[in-house]
Structure 1
Amino acid sequence: MSRPLDLLAEAVRGLRARPLRSVLCAGGIALGMAAMVAVVAIPATTRQALLDSLGQDGNLLTVSSGDTIDNQPAPLPPQSPAMVRRITGVQRLSAVGYQAGWIARRTPLVPVADTNGLALIAVDADLTGTLDLKVSHGRFLDAATSRFPVVVLGSGAARALGMTSTGPDRLLTLSTPDGRRTATATVLGILADAPLAPELDSAVLIGNQAARTRLGARSGPTRIYLRADPDSVTTVHGLLAATASPGDPGAVVVGRPSDLLVARLTAQSALNNLALGLGAVALLVGGVGVANAMVVSVLEGRSEIGLRRALGARRGFVGSLILVESTLLCLAGAAAGGLIGFAVTWASAVSQAVAVQVPILPVGLGLAASVVVGLVAGLYPALRAAHLAPAAALRIAG
């Protein structure tokens, strides 16, 4: 048997002889490695899912005219949707209108003065196609239901109202701020979160036709959502302000929601770097624990070291044995930590219904770092064991 294999076999026997200490030492490294894998892989998984979504939603544009003096959405000219639709490159379009004179409440028993209510927005049935909205309960408005007093709740509005289901018994009260005019509406559906249109999450949606016939809505749209040909997004973006409001294009705000999400990703990357640093610190702390345990091991094993030296073991063999033991501890801890980190990442991905993404480079660097930590942590105790005199060690043991 070659000498490296002798060293490895002896190191394994030494670790098995002290199982509790070995497990505790490797556990410190495992926690650091698990933290490092988790803080890298979980954001990477979420980021990849969001980037995939951005690839589908990068051609979404919005047109609005800002807010009025009392911080309410200002209407666009009534002819704006028709004019914008004529722009070459516009594929789909849907306009919504904020109903400034109406609010939605759970019950008419609460005075209007005691609640702000929820914003009421008039929408077309094709809004889900333009924004790729998902309905978590019930269904969305269509050509038939848009004529009747039925509403769809944004995800935040549903939570605020305490509604988790739909049905004929799920009713809302629509009223003017002064409470003089009221109407009752049935909850037809509840939307899932809409990250590209967060203003809809906290609103109550009603059909445009019902808003006109039953609420007396007459103002123009307050926001236009449109999908442009991906190759024409820049051109369409430059034409939207002047087309939507030829008389005052400076008052029109043209947005691209995906840009905001990209900015959020940039901020998230900075936070991920901080988390990665914390994982590295945890790995370093685990290495210090290994070093401390190996020093104690050398002190407690002086009689064994002295006996080995008396039987002819060279200093290099004894020092290498301690070094191999500490390296094995770090490798075992890194492997266990990697599996734990992957399991946590997998559980997070399953809960979000996205594919698992584990960046190979950072994880590989973490594994390499654990080996380096093992070598550095075992260096001092290895040197101490190698320079321990046989006679002195046997005398102390005796």
Structure 2
Amino acid sequence: MPRLSVVDSIRTALIGPRSRKMRTALSALGVAVGIAALTAITGIAASNQAELLAKLDALGANMIVVQPGYGPDNKPVALPETAAGMIERVNGVEQVGVLEKVPDDTGVYRNDLMPKSQGNGLTAYAASPDFLSSVEGSVAKGSWFDETDRSLPVTVLGSAAAARMGITEPGVRVWIGEQWYTVIGILDSAGLAESIDASAFLGDHWAAEHVSAKGDDTIASIYVRMTDGGTGEKVRDAIARAANPSSPYVQVTGLGDLAGARDTADDSLSGLAVGLAAIALLVGGIGIANTMVVAVLERRGEIGLRRALGARSGQIAGQFVAEAIVLGGLGGLAGLLLGAAGVFVYASVQGQAATIPFLVLLGGPLVALVVGVIAGLYPAISAARLSPTAALRTV
């Protein structure tokens, strides 16, 4: 029997799946689930990583946050009022910004009718005019504090705080503590410094006179911008010692560490996804193999007839391998489309750009084809070994 061309081989391979559409769909389902899981989770992790890198670039990998640490009694150890000034003297420090505490019961609400027992996750801080530049923040609408505003009952809202209260423009009033404040500005998102986004800022002079926490425990956070490459362990130790020379309990965190922690979490999730995808692909491969074994049994008459007409055993085996490849390829393509759709939906909900690694786009279908080849080997060999005489008896 003459050798079939590539086109004829493909056409022949499609005959079986077309005649058993439901069985074909169920056989390809396992492969589709595996490829979809691999594509979706890998794409989501890549999208998150791209978003993190963008946020890190926006805020700067050279940002360090200094906060009160916790002592042996698990209580916070206050930073002294001199902490910011001492940190400025550390070699490599470019700029320092301070957020000061206000009393814990200083709630931030849209109006004075909201029950004080109903929390909304918003926090009030006192900030100086140079705080925003120290974190390289920007104002989306309105303005930041100037020398006059810092002494008046006005506030600047973080992006999340404004969104949560339904405020889109400056000029409205909000209820903070027990007083009305006029919103003079709304900030852009601060990226990795998410606590800034969910905050309402008061002028430091006004807060010192009217609402700031009393006593020595007034500093909530100190944002330290270093020169490039200046966030190593030695630099952090120097900043911790400068912030509170009398106590070792100082919390010093690099925003680059936050990105690394999230990246590690995404890597763990990706590893889990690969495991789940491998299981799904194994199940899919078994399904394809089972389908092809049944196909061999059902088509023994066809196999015997083709062998009687001169088809070689290799051609018979090649036909069944080709059909298995078709099943794997269909599952891989469907899984790739489903996984990509999942990534785009997730990215749309999160408001970020969808990213799917090229290796996944290329490798997903290739893996599916390999699964098809492996799953089709045993049925193909079984078909090739059938005796033409025995096979023709089933016709």
Q: TM-score scaled by structure 2?
A: 0.81
2:61 corresponds to which of 51, 58, 61: 58
What is the CA distance between 1:195 and its match in structure 2?
5.4
> RMSD of aligned C-alpha atoms?
3.5
Residue pair 2:97, 2:132 contacting (<8 A) in 1 also:
no
Secondary structure of 2:328's match?
helix
Residue-by-residue CA offset, 1:87-125 (whole Å, 9 max, x unaligned): 33221221110113651243445675x467854210123
Distance 1:369 1:276, change over 3 A: same
Residue-by-residue CA offset, 1:167-217 (whole Å, 9 max, x unaligned): 54442141xxxxxxx322134455566453344454432111221344366
Residue pair 1:104, 1:204 contacting (<8 A) in 2 also:
no
- The residue aligned with 2:32 is 30
Partners of 1:216 and 1:377 lie apart in 2 by 71
Residue pair 1:125, 1:140 contacting (<8 A) in 2 also:
no
Partners of 2:192 and 2:17 lie apart in 1 by 55
Residues 148-187 of structure 1: pairs in structure 2 closer than 5 A: 148-154=152-158, 157=161, 162-174=165-177, 182-187=178-183
What is the CA distance between 1:370 and its match in structure 2?
2.1
What is the CA distance between 1:69 and its match in structure 2?
11
What is the CA distance between 1:42 and its match in structure 2?
1.9
Residue pair 2:79, 2:244 contacting (<8 A) in 1 also:
yes
Distance 1:189 1:302, change over 3 A: farther
Secondary structure of 2:219's match?
coil
- The residue aligned with 2:311 is 313
Distance 1:283 1:105, change over 3 A: same
Residue pair 2:92, 2:227 contacting (<8 A) in 1 also:
yes
Residue pair 1:41, 1:358 contacting (<8 A) in 2 also:
yes
Distance 1:379 1:116, change over 3 A: closer
Residues 170-319 of structure 1: pairs in structure 2 closer than 5 A: 170-174=173-177, 182-191=178-187, 194=190, 196-215=192-211, 220-234=218-232, 236-246=235-245, 248-319=246-317
Distance 1:140 1:291, change over 3 A: farther
Distance 1:166 1:377, change over 3 A: same
Residue pair 1:320, 1:382 contacting (<8 A) in 2 also:
yes
Secondary structure of 2:357's match?
coil
Partners of 1:279 and 1:386 lie apart in 2 by 32
What is the CA distance between 1:302 and its match in structure 2?
2.8
Alignment-mate amino acid for residue 299 of structure 2: G
Alignment-mate amino acid for residue 279 of structure 2: V
Residue-by-residue CA offset, 1:206-261 (whole Å, 9 max, x unaligned): 11122134436665533210100123333542322333334x14243322232133
Q: Tell me if 1:41 matches 2:46.
A: no
Partners of 1:243 and 1:374 lie apart in 2 by 64
Residue pair 1:30, 1:337 contacting (<8 A) in 2 also:
yes
Identity %: 35
1:124 corresponds to which of 121, 128, 135: 128
Partners of 2:394 and 2:119 lie apart in 1 by 82
Partners of 1:142 and 1:70 lie apart in 2 by 38
Alignment-mate amino acid for residue 51 of structure 1: L
Q: TM-score scaled by structure 1?
A: 0.81
Alignment-mate amino acid for residue 314 of structure 1: R
Partners of 1:100 and 1:69 lie apart in 2 by 24
What is the CA distance between 1:51 and its match in structure 2?
3.3
Partners of 2:261 and 2:212 lie apart in 1 by 40
Partners of 2:139 and 2:33 lie apart in 1 by 40
Residue-by-residue CA offset, 1:133-168 (whole Å, 9 max, x unaligned): 4666x4453214333212234456557x64343454
Higher mean C-alpha displacement, 102-111 vs 39-48: 102-111
- The residue aligned with 2:353 is 354
Residue pair 2:108, 2:200 contacting (<8 A) in 1 also:
no
Secondary structure of 1:222's match?
strand
Partners of 2:286 and 2:185 lie apart in 1 by 57
**Residue ranges of structure 1 left out of the alignment (5+ in a row):** 175-181
Distance 1:375 1:68, change over 3 A: closer
What is the CA distance between 1:325 and its match in structure 2?
1.2
Distance 1:46 1:115, change over 3 A: closer
Residue-by-residue CA offset, 1:292-317 (whole Å, 9 max, x unaligned): 22223223323322322232323332
Number of residues paired by the alignment?
385
Residue pair 1:59, 1:233 contacting (<8 A) in 2 also:
yes
